[in-house]
Every structure is written in C-alpha cells, then in structure tokens.
Amino acid sequence: MPSFPSLLLRADTIAAQGAFAEAQAEFFDPDPDTVQALRERLAAVDGGVVAHFYMDPELQGVLYGVDWPHIHISDSLVMADRAIAMAEAGAKAIAVLGVDFMSENVRAMLDAAGHRDVGVYRVSERAIGCSLAESAEALAYGAYLERAASFPNSLHVVYINTSLRTKAYAHRKVPTITCTSSNVLRTVLQAFAQEPRAHVWFGPDTYMGENLEKMLAALAGMDAAAVAGIHPEHTPASIAAILRENRFHYFEAGNCVVHHMFGAEVVATIEREYLDNTDITAHLEVPGEMFSLGLAASQRGRGVVGSTSDILRFIRGRVEAAGSGETSERHLRFILGTEAGMVTAIVHALRPTLAKHPEITVEIIFPVASEAIAITGDAELPLVPGVAAGEGCSTAGGCATCPFMKMNTLDALMDVLGRVRGGDPTLAAYEPKKYAERLGGETVAAVGSQPILHMRAFQASGRLPDALIADIRGRAAS
C-alpha cells in the first residue's frame, strides 16, 4: 500500500485513498440548498468574499458553487486586488477568509484606493494567527532589522504574510518592499539590478530565504543566455558577486508550521516510492530537502517550485497538454507540496479538461508526514489522522493542513453575513485589527501600506519605484 493518501480524478468520478484524502474530497460537490443560502446572504448585503486557497474544503466547495460575481479564491497576492475590483463593482461589505494579516492588507488597500466606506470583516472574534507572521513580531526580528539598518544601501524585502504593524515598523528602520512567493525572486534580482551595491534582507520565512539563496547559486552556475532570460540586467558573474560578497541575507528563525512538515522524512518517502512518472510541486516555503527535489524536477520539466498560483498553473498546464495531445501521458501524478486545501482549487480547475477527455486520469498525492498519524491506544481504532497535540496538525486532516486557516468555516461566514445584514453592533470585533499608535505622525496603517504600494508599483512597471531607490540611497548617505 502506498505511504501517502491520494485522490484519483477522472471525468466523472473522484476516488479517495485514505482518510486524509477522503476528508479533502467530501465537499467537492456541495449541497445545492447550502449554495443557495449563501448566495442569498451575499445578495442581501451586496457582499463579497475573498478567500485563500488554504480554506476549509467544505467552505471552498460551496464558494465555487455559488453563482455570484463577488467571490474570488486565490493566493494572498491577488486577494486585495480583487477586493478593490469588487468595491468598484458595487460590493459594500467584503468577508476576508484567511488569516489576520490578509484582512489587514485588504483593509489598507481598499482605504488607499478610496473605498473606506466598504466594510471588511474577518469571520472570527478571536485572532486568526499565523506562525510565520508572528515570527516577524519577535524581538529577534527587530534585532535582524537593526543589523540591516547598519549596512549601507540596505533594502528589506518582507514577505507579505506579515502584519501591517510589522511592515510599518520595518519600513521605519529600513526601506521596505513587500513580496509574495510569486514575485520574490524577481524583486530581489531587480533590487540588485537597480542598486548594484545593495544589501537585500529577506524575511521572515527562513526556508524561503534558504531556497532563494539556492536559486541565486543555481543562476550563478547557468550560462549567460539562461540568466538573461530570467533577468536581462544580470549575468552569472553579477549573481556570483552578490553571493561572494554576502549581500543577500535572510532571517533564520521563522517558518510556517504546515510547510515545516515537508522535510527530510517526506522527501525520503517520495524518492523511495513516487519519483517514477510523478511531477513534484513545492511551495517556496518548504524546507530545503523538498525544495531541492522540486527544483530538480522543474529543471527536467516535471515539476515546479513557487507560489500556490504557480502550482495551480503548472498542474493545469500539464493536464491541458495531455488533453490537447501535446503529450502522450494518460495518467498524470502530482505530489502536492503545499497545504492540502489547495486541492479544491486544483479539482475545480481540472474538471473542464477531464470532462472532455475521459481517457485521462490525474492523481493528486498528499505527502503527509508520519507525525500526522496518532496512536490512540484504542483496540478498534488504533490509528487516526492527525497528532494528539501540536500546532499545525489536527485530527481532521493531519500535518498538511493549517489550523489557523481552518478557523474560517462556512457557519462562521454565514454568521458574519447575517450580522452585517442586521447591523449587529458586535461587528466591530470582526473587523481587521486597528493600530492606535502613530509613527512619525502617521498611522501604522498608512506607514505599513507603503511597502505594499511599492510592490504594486513594481508589479505595474517592472522596476522598483524611484522613491524607494532614493530612500535606500538617502539612508545610506545619512
């Protein structure tokens, strides 16, 4: 029997192997009455929903089933942009299904776009935390930024998966731009292109920092044409100089409790049982062993390393290529090297192609660590998915699911939308966190929005904004 659970997708059926896979597959086809009930609640308040790929499978299944224009499921990069588009199209209240830094980012970007009148709501009165975001709130991260400020020409590239407060205080210490797993490599390379003597300080994700360093080392070993294809202003020599002169830095004490599980034991099992005819996908937040496996696979055209959107795009592209006859493969297998909630979006994206090509099957394999199995001591049920205790694991799914993301439930969403409709005075508890302190006369939200706006300008133009480069040079001169 295979070590890892999996889903086998065909044109008209989905077969689950193992309790973990069964838990993911249960809600791909939602109850029509539930779908209609959610649509009615959204329509009653001119509501919108922006949700992350890692949501609870029941919630995602219903969201994909609702015929309503203001619903979007994506990675964190796109959530705020889609919220703005919803506001421009008439949405008056937007529920953010994710962790708290996501609702903060949505609120800040709506304010910056002139939509302060649009309500933004979380679906829990309690904090919806994130181990990675919280690592950037620690004293160690403050010390890391103090060190960065002591170097000339320093730029802080902060993962968007952090609070507005983190972004604001960081930007006061060191010129800061946010990034996502989709654009972090381009951001780092562009920084070194526009400021060749720059010191770039990435954080807080340690694994992503290590993986970025490996990617830079790989670039330094490529031929000039290959490097130019990735960034036209760089050569193998320019990349090698960055590494030789130690001008790329990363924080060494931050990680996501879920991606942390994709370590050496998981990789050993993949190499032993799954490498033949299997594509490897790996999020940039996974440990180095899984990253190296995914990077090697990507170089053979049999894998991808990157963001959740990159993973989805790769899997869909491979299946569409099989359907169009570009490849002769009829059974495609993918290791899903990220949070298991991603599978709902994958199934939704593949169904149209599979419906046209019943000869094709797709297997999604969940590389759940052995730590995700708990010994109960019960004679009839000696093993259950999930560990007895531990952040990042749950009896509902194991160590490939995020307990914080799963605080977003269908019942909670319905409840918040009902409160919005009724004008419930307790709604304030569901709004994104507000920061009372001011920095240099500005609000934390205003200062914390600047690194995000720098990223948006970079996305639009392909270059870091002049104001950011001037800030880097100005602080170095002072």
- Planar angle of CA 319, 263, 329, nearest 5 degrees: 20
Looking at per-residue pLDDT, the higher value among 42 and 255 belongs to: 42
The separation between CA 241 and the C-alpha centre of its own chain, rounded to angstroms, equals: 30
Residue where the block lists tokens 């999020």: 283
Enumerate the β-bridge partners of residue 154: 199
| pLDDT tens column, 114-131 | 999 999 999 999 998 888
Structure tokens at 367: 């590389």
| pLDDT tens column, 333-342 | 999 998 888 9
CA torsion sign, 437 to 141 to 159 to 187?
A: positive
| 98, HSE (Cβ side, Cα atoms, 13 Å) | 30
Looking at per-residue pLDDT, the higher value among 222 and 403 belongs to: 222
What pLDDT score was predicted for residue 385? 43
Largest CA distance in the chain: 71
What pLDDT score was predicted for residue 388? 41
| pLDDT tens column, 375-425 | 444 444 444 444 443 333 434 334 567 778 888 999 999 999 999 999 888
Burial 300-329 (b: 16+ CB within 10 A, else e): eebbbbbbbbbbbebbbebbeebbeeeeee
Q: What is the set of domains in the chain, with CATH numbers?
A: 6-24+257-404 (3.40.50.10800), 28-128+406-430 (3.40.50.10800), 132-255+435-477 (no CATH)
Burial 210-238 (b: 16+ CB within 10 A, else e): ebbbebbeebbeeeeeebeeebeebbbeb
Rounded Cα distance between 188 and 289, Å, is 22
